[in-house]
Amino acid sequence: MLCLFSLVAYLATAQEEKNVRITILSTMLADMKGKGEWGFSALVEVDSVKLLFDTGKHPELVLENAKALDINLAGIERLVLSHNHLDHTGGVERLLKEFPSSFAQVYIATGFFTPKLLNGQTPMKSFDSSSYVRSGGTFTVISSFHELLPGIYLTGPVPRIHDEENYPKTTMVKTAGGTKVDIVEEDMSLVINTSKGLVLLSGCGHAGIVNTLEQVRKNFPGKKVIAAIGGFHLLETDETKLTWTANEIKKAGVEYFVGAHCTGLNSVYKIRQIVGFSPAKCLIGSVGMVFDLQKGIKTGWLE
Ligand SMILES: [Zn+2]
Ligand SMILES: [Zn+2]
């Protein structure tokens, strides 16, 4: 009986995070404080737990933007890299130097180390994992949906049920069957389970936002995804596919949509229009923008 009570109490705390805050530290658009870049990084705070999801492109920028925004990066417990593109991994080593205890372990998904080739020939410049290891870093590879901390999950590689193809078509990978387009198999997102619904944080969304929403909802039957935040690589998506995507976002029950990084400005506004989001609940993500589960989206001056 006691065990049962303990289990119920554990499940209740795992589901009822009261305070979830996601602050964007790297993306293209910047406001009064901080600088923009082609990259992505976000600080995730769930009650007293802090995580960093991606590290931006320029080695110093996450540190600089955090300083400009008066955000303390000390005490981060987990570092997650959504995938192996330099605009998400650029700050890892610099952050490790600054906060050795926070960034000596990084969570990545299966496929992260598959060598990438530009146009099928030139090796693509990517995260220098051997240098990170020499500096004391270690990797934890996630192969399937995984609970990182109570109530906080990583999707691992996402099954590509729909042909969303939200990845650059010029990057290739070498496989046993020959050279093929890199579908960025390692692309994974972070999910927070709250009593209000699920909060989804994506780096580039190369797995496809609809594929990711479906995988997440399969793991939490009957729960809606209340917020979808981050990069969703919809910047090249044609009208027909974008309309379908927006309708799937609506079906998943999304109430807040923040399209940062590679989502595409016009795509965000098109999604706003199709889903029928109010402007306060569907915005372009900018440096310093905060999603707060209790208070909604806090934008900069520009928006
Ligand atoms: Zn990216
Ligand atoms: Zn990417």
Backbone conformation region of residue 56, classed left if phi is above 0, alpha if psi is from -120 to 50, else beta: left
Find the 90 Cα to ligand 2 centroid distance in Å.
12
- Centroid of ligand 1 to alpha carbon of 154 (angstroms): 18
The DSSP code for 191 is E
8 A C-beta contact, residue 232 and residue 166 = yes
Contact status, residue 222 vs residue 151, Cβ threshold 8 Å: no
What separation in Å is there between the alpha carbon of 3 and the centre of ligand 2?
Answer: 44
Q: HSE on the CB side for 119, CA within 13 Å?
A: 1
pTM of the model: 0.94
Please report, for residues 9, 50, 250, 257, the alpha-carbon distance to residue 54 in angstroms, rounded to integers and kept in the order given: 32, 13, 27, 19
151 phi-psi bin (left φ>0, alpha ψ -120 to 50, beta other): left
Q: What is the pLDDT of residue 6?
A: 54
Contacts of 38 (CB under 8 A, 6+ apart): 28, 57, 87, 261
Cα Rg, the chain, nearest whole Å? 18
Average the pLDDT over 227-231 and give the result: 98
Please give the distance, rounded to the nearest whole angstrom, from the Cα atom of residue 55 to the centre of ligand 2: 12
Ligand that comes closest to the CA of residue 85: 2
Q: Average pLDDT in the 43-52 region? A: 97
pLDDT score recorded for residue 137: 96
CA 291 to ligand 2 centroid distance, Å: 22
State the average pLDDT over residues 138-148. Answer: 98
pLDDT, mean of residues 71-92: 98
Predicted pLDDT at 17: 52
**In the predicted model, what is the mean pLDDT of residues 230-248?**
97
For residue 257, CA distances in Å to 12, 237, 240 come to 26, 17, 20
Q: What angle is formed at CA 60 by the lines to CA 56 and CA 64, rounded to 5 degrees?
A: 95
Nearest-ligand number for the alpha carbon of 124: 2
Q: How far apart are CA 51 and CA 201, in angstroms?
A: 12
* Distance in Å, CA 232 to ligand 2 centroid: 9
Q: How far is CA 268 from the centre of its chain?
A: 16
d(CA 4, ligand 2 centre) in Å: 43
Write down the pLDDT at residue 70. 98
Residue 5: pLDDT band by 50, 70, 90 thresholds? Answer: low
pLDDT at residue 14 tops 60: no
Torsional sign, CA 33, 38, 40, 41:
negative
Residue 105 pairs in a beta bridge with: 138
Cα 108–chain centre separation: 12
Average pLDDT over residues 207-220: 98
> Which tens digit of pLDDT belongs to each residue from 86-111?
999 999 999 999 999 999 999 999 99
CA–centroid distance, 132 to ligand 1, in Å, is: 20
DSSP H stretches of helix in 53-163: 61-68, 86-89, 92-98, 100-103, 129-134
Task: Report CA(67)–ligand 1 centroid distance (Å).
Answer: 23
pLDDT at position 15, please? Answer: 52
Distance 168 CA to ligand 2 centre (A): 8
Could you tell me the pLDDT band of residue 12, with boundaries at 50, 70 and 90? very low
pLDDT at res. 174: 85
Q: Which amino acid is at 290?
A: V
State the distance from the centre of ligand 2 to the C-alpha of 207, rounded, in angstroms. 10
For residue 174, list its beta bridge partners. Answer: 179
Tell me the pLDDT tens digit for each residue of 252-294. 999 999 999 999 999 999 999 999 999 999 999 999 999 999 9
